[in-house]
Chains A and B, each alone.
Chain A
Amino acid sequence: QSVLTQPPSVSGAPGQRVTISCTGSSSNIGAGYDVHWYQQLPGTAPKLLIYGNSNRPSGVPDRFSGSKSGTSASLAITGLQAEDEADYYCQSYDSSLSGSGVVFGGGTKLTVL
Chain B
Amino acid sequence: EVQLVQSGAEVKKPGESLKISCKGSGYSFTSYWIGWVRQMPGKGLEWMGIIYPGDSDTRYSPSFQGQVTISADKSISTAYLQWSSLKASDTAMYYCARGEMATRDWYFDLWGRGTLVTVSS
Contact A45/B45 with A51-B100, A91-B107 known, Cβ cut-off 8 Å:
no
Say yes or no: B44 contacts A89, CB within 8 Å. Answer: yes
> A24 within 8 Å of B by Cβ?
no
Complex: chain A residue closest to B50, CB-CB: A102
Q: State whether A102 touches B104 (Cβ < 8 A).
A: no
A2 (CB) vs chain B CBs: closest residue: B44
A102–B61 touching, CB < 8 Å: yes
Once the chains bind, are B104 and A101 in contact (CB under 8 Å)?
no
Q: Which of B23-31, B69-77, B110-118 contacts A (4 or more CB under 8 A)?
A: B110-118
| B103 CB within 8 Å of chain A | yes
**Interface majority SS on A: helix, strand, loop or mixed?**
strand
Whether the Cβ atoms of A104 and B61 lie closer than 8 Å is no
Interface size on B, residues (CB 8 A): 29
State A94–B41 Cα separation when bound (angstroms).
Answer: 25
What sequence of 0s and 1s flags, for each residue 50-64 of chain B, a beta carbon within 8 Å of any chain A beta carbon?
A: 100000000111100
Contact-residue size bin, chain A (C-beta under 8 Å from the other chain)? 20 to 34
Could you tell me if A89 and B45 are in contact, using CB atoms closer than 8 angstroms? yes
Closest to B111 in A: A45
Q: CB distance B44 to A107 under 8 Å?
A: yes
Which residue of chain A has the shortest Cβ distance to B98 in the bound complex? A48
Taken together as a complex, chains A and B put the C-alpha atoms of A89 and B43 apart, in Å, by 12
Stretch from A14-22, A29-37, A74-82 that touches the partner: A29-37
Docked complex Cα distance between A44 and B93 (Å):
11
Chain B CB within 8 A of A103 CB: yes
Q: Which residues of A contact B (CB under 8 A)?
A: 2, 32-34, 36, 38, 40, 44-48, 51-52, 57, 87, 89, 91-93, 98-107
> Which residues of B approach A to under 8 Å, CB–CB?
35, 37, 44-47, 49-50, 59-62, 65, 95, 97, 100, 102-114
Q: Given A91-B47, A93-B106, A107-B45, list of 6 further CB < 8 A pairs?
A: A46-B37, A89-B45, A99-B65, A101-B47, A102-B106, A104-B45
